[in-house]
Structure 1
Amino acid sequence: MSQKVIITCAVTGSIHTPTMSPYLPITPDEIIEASVGAAEAGAAIIHLHARDPETGKPSPDPKLFMQFLPRIKQQTDAVMNVSTGGGLTMSLEERLEAAHVARPELCSLNMGSMNFGLYQIADKHKDWQQPWERDYLEATRHGIVSNTFGQIERIISEVGGAYGTKFEFECYDVSHLYTLAHFLDRKLLTPPLFVQTIFGLLGGIGPAAEDLMHMRRTADKLFGKDYLWSVLAAGRHQMNLCTMGAIMGGNVRVGLEDSLYIAKGKLATSNAAQVAKIRHIMEELSLEIATADEARQMLDLKGGDQVGF
């Protein structure tokens, strides 16, 4: 089972805005449809954010999460991963609201404060559907995504310790791996660690093959056999770096949070399409895809009967 590939699908996120793609899930019903479709296509884990159904703006409101979490659970056995990254302008308290209500099996946890540049995307569009979109992207020119040591420790304690929730540790650069090792050394975390290495976002490590190999070597040095490695890459780098990571023994993450495209210049019409594509690539490489229950066992999760929804 350790050789099987876990596919995560991040169905909407907080990076892309409604103008960028008509296929980006916004409403709870759209998020449900996207999540169930991705699970049916082969995703064992669904990574979830919420959006205001009227404007499409990322929202921390747990009431929105609870409009889709129970209904996804009714229709699929996929592991649901609730983001603690939230949106780029949210406070830590806002980012934790949904996790406190949902008490999920898995939450994402960013392993360091960082510049998170999206402002360069703003110039690619002129006619915005919503008045918030351009300002939201431009704000990343001067803002910072805050994940201090104290904030990380709070999330580990208030979510992991309190609810038995495990984490998808999002590592955007080599320093984030060392920060994760710090918390492991302090015995605040219990292996196996689910380490999501992220490539190609402005402010993090680049998308070159050597960048991926360096992150893998560093994680191997720091965590040995105590972790499961996964790869996500932004935009056009999504499929090639995920494929490379899987060949090197990793797991993969796709979805419209990370890339809006299915091929060069062609928008993905669904999250399921991206899952189906990466699954096809994995199977052509003779790699087996993990089911949701196999992913639970591999990551030592508490089980879907122990959540708050």
Structure 2
Amino acid sequence: MNRDVILTCAVTGAGDTADKHPDLPITPQQIADSAIEAARAGASIVHLHVRDPETGGISHSTEHFREVVLRIRDADVDAVINLTAGGGGDWTPHPDDPTRGGEGTDMQTPAERHAPIGELLPDICTLDCGSLNFGDMIYLNTADWLREHARLVKEAGVKPELECFDLGHVWFARQLIEEGLIEGDPLFQLCLGIPWGAEADTETMLAMRNKLPANAQWSAFGIGRSQMPMVAQSILLGGNVRVGLEDNLYLSKGVFATNAQLVEKAATIAENLGGRVLTPAETRKKLDLRQP
């Protein structure tokens, strides 16, 4: 069991959820404010996407990321900042010509995905470790793209969070480590419950955990109704946890959540199991991050 728990709050994500929650953070100010509230509620890390302020849809704008990051850094509360670098990988084949992307396709090169990271230098950024049937679309992330992206992150001096949506992703992450593209003790995020990747259950989490390097720090999350059960399961198996509106919109059945409420609920689970949530300063020390 892990008694010193790192708690990540994934504030908004990039999924099609803007019209499914009345108060989903959309604008840079809303995203920053919600992240600050989550930090005040006890989150160790805030994981950040940005959205188009007009439509609520996907955005990769460095300007939007900059506004969010600066607002958090200027706040009167500390938080470890984790920026997504996994955008721009959505591929939906065109119904009349599968060699072309259809509606919903959104592709970026590794350099384009990395642009906000290289400029803003967050504490952590995500590195999604493979391709996946992601619902009805494909998330594309080839091996050579990943090598290029890992090299960019390494050169920037940012800690990569190795996001693994299936067991093969863990395998390839270990390959990146073997090739020297990941330095220090690796940080893994086990992403469970997303159709059609790894299932959100004990057997799957345990199988993925057992394939991690011995020196790995790791966390896990489940989406939707599996969010809080996976919080408890991860702690019991020795891992850290992630909650937030990116992964789950509800506090209980039919009751919309805020990020702060989800953080408080996860922290209560950790405490009831005999653990505690680490502060951002303790998290930086545990993960060997740059000090602010």
1:266: Cα distance to partner?
2.1
User: 2: CA distance between counterparts of 1:185 and 1:157?
Assistant: 13
The answer on 1:203 being equivalent to 2:192 is no
1:57: Cα distance to partner?
0.9
User: 2: CA distance between counterparts of 1:206 and 1:65?
Assistant: 31
Higher strand share: 2
1:182 paired residue number: 175
User: 1: CA distance between counterparts of 2:276 and 2:182?
Assistant: 29
1:91 paired residue number: 108
Alpha-carbon deviations, 1:254-298, whole Å to 9, x = none? 000011111223221x10000000001111111011110111111
2:8 paired residue number: 8
Gaps of 5+ in 2: 91-105
User: 1: CA distance between counterparts of 2:120 and 2:148?
Assistant: 17
2:154·2:181 contact (CA, 8 Å) conserved in 1?
no
| Paired residues for 1:5-154 under 5 Å | 5-75=5-75, 76-86=77-87, 88=90, 89-92=106-109, 93-117=111-135, 141=136, 143-154=137-148
The number of residue pairs the alignment matches comes to 273
The letter of the residue matching 2:270 is M
The answer on 1:300 being equivalent to 2:254 is no
The answer on 1:227 being equivalent to 2:220 is no
2:255 paired residue number: 266
Identity %: 38
User: 2: CA distance between counterparts of 1:97 and 1:60?
Assistant: 9
1:9: Cα distance to partner?
0.5
User: 1: CA distance between counterparts of 2:3 and 2:26?
Assistant: 35
1:3: Cα distance to partner?
4.2
The letter of the residue matching 1:159 is V
1:90: Cα distance to partner?
3.4
Coordinate RMSD, CA, aligned: 1.4
User: 1: CA distance between counterparts of 2:236 and 2:221?
Assistant: 14
Gaps of 5+ in 1: 118-140, 305-309
Please state whether the residue corresponding to 1:286 is helix, strand or coil. coil
2:96 paired residue number: none
Deviates further, 187-196 or 102-111:
187-196
1:16·1:257 contact (CA, 8 Å) conserved in 2?
no
1:124 paired residue number: none
User: 2: CA distance between counterparts of 1:67 and 1:214?
Assistant: 39
Alpha-carbon deviations, 1:19-67, whole Å to 9, x = none? 1111210011111110001001111111001111111111001001111
1:61·1:97 contact (CA, 8 Å) conserved in 2?
no
User: 2: CA distance between counterparts of 1:215 and 1:264?
Assistant: 29
Please state whether the residue corresponding to 1:20 is helix, strand or coil. coil
User: 1: CA distance between counterparts of 2:250 and 2:87?
Assistant: 22
Higher helix share: 1
TM-score, length-scaled by structure 2: 0.90
User: 2: CA distance between counterparts of 1:16 and 1:271?
Assistant: 17
1:290 paired residue number: 278
The letter of the residue matching 1:79 is V
TM-score, length-scaled by structure 1: 0.85
1:218: Cα distance to partner?
2.0
Please state whether the residue corresponding to 2:282 is helix, strand or coil. helix
Please state whether the residue corresponding to 2:276 is helix, strand or coil. coil
User: 1: CA distance between counterparts of 2:50 and 2:112?
Assistant: 12
